[in-house]
């Protein structure tokens, strides 16, 4: 049973295979700093054990699939330095275990949804 999938910094070309969503025991996907293109597969949302998703520093396009919020164990989501566009999914507010979210250096729009921590308080504090 595959739990950790790390092929970072290999200059891999092509798109992300949708079959990654079939490895239900995956806890980490790290494909940073490759030459990956295309969209993020919606099937990654089926990975309920996934804690770390690092697809940073590629050339991924399209929008961020809202289905990623179904991967409720996610703690770290790194999608920075891609060519992603569209709105940040409102469904990300369901990711209660999230401790790091980096969407920088893309072409995203919209508002950051009101995020809550595990204890249901405002994770940005009350100012």
Residue 70: CATH number of its domain: 3.80.10.10
Q: Is the residue at 72 inside a domain?
A: yes
Mean pLDDT across the chain: 91
Q: Do residues 92 and 113 make contact, with C-beta atoms less than 8 angstroms apart?
A: yes
DSSP H or E run through 84: strand 83-87
**What whole-number distance in Å separates Cα of residue 20 and Cα of residue 113?**
27
Q: Is the residue at 97 inside a domain?
A: yes
Counted domains in the chain: 1
Q: Is the residue at 119 inside a domain?
A: no
Residue 52 half-sphere exposure, CB side, CA atoms within 13 Å? 12
**What whole-number distance in Å separates Cα of residue 98 and Cα of residue 119?**
13
**What whole-number distance in Å separates Cα of residue 15 and Cα of residue 65?**
15
% of residues, the chain, pLDDT over 70: 88
Confidence of residue 110 (pLDDT cuts 50, 70, 90): confident
For the entire predicted model, the pTM comes to: 0.89
Q: Is the residue at 121 inside a domain?
A: no
Q: Is the residue at 23 inside a domain?
A: yes
Q: What pLDDT is stored for residue 118 in this prediction? A: 56
Mean pLDDT of 15-29: 96
Mean pLDDT of 37-55: 98
Q: Is the residue at 123 inside a domain?
A: no
Q: Does 123 score more than 50 pLDDT?
A: no
Task: Measure the CA angle with vertex 11, ends 107 and 109; round to 5°.
Answer: 10
Q: What range does the domain containing 9 cover?
A: 4-109
Q: Is the residue at 36 inside a domain?
A: yes
Q: Is the residue at 126 inside a domain?
A: no
Q: What pLDDT is stored for residue 115 in this prediction? A: 61
Q: Does 73 score more than 70 pLDDT?
A: yes
């Amino acid at each position: 049973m595959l739990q950790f999938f790390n092929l970072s910094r290999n200059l891999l070309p092509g798109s992300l295979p949708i079959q990654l969503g079939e490895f239900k025991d995956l806890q980490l996907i790290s494909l940073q700093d490759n030459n990956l293109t295309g969209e993020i597969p919606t099937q990654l949302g089926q990975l309920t054990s996934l804690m770390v998703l690092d697809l940073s520093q590629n050339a991924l396009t399209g929008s961020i699939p809202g289905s990623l919020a179904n991967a409720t164990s996610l703690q770290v989501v790194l999608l920075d330095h891609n060519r992603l566009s569209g709105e940040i999914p409102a469904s990300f507010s369901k990711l209660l275990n999230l401790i790091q979210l980096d969407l920088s250096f893309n072409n995203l729009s919209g508002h950051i949804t009101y995020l809550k921590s595990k204890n249901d308080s405002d994770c940005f504090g009350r100012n």
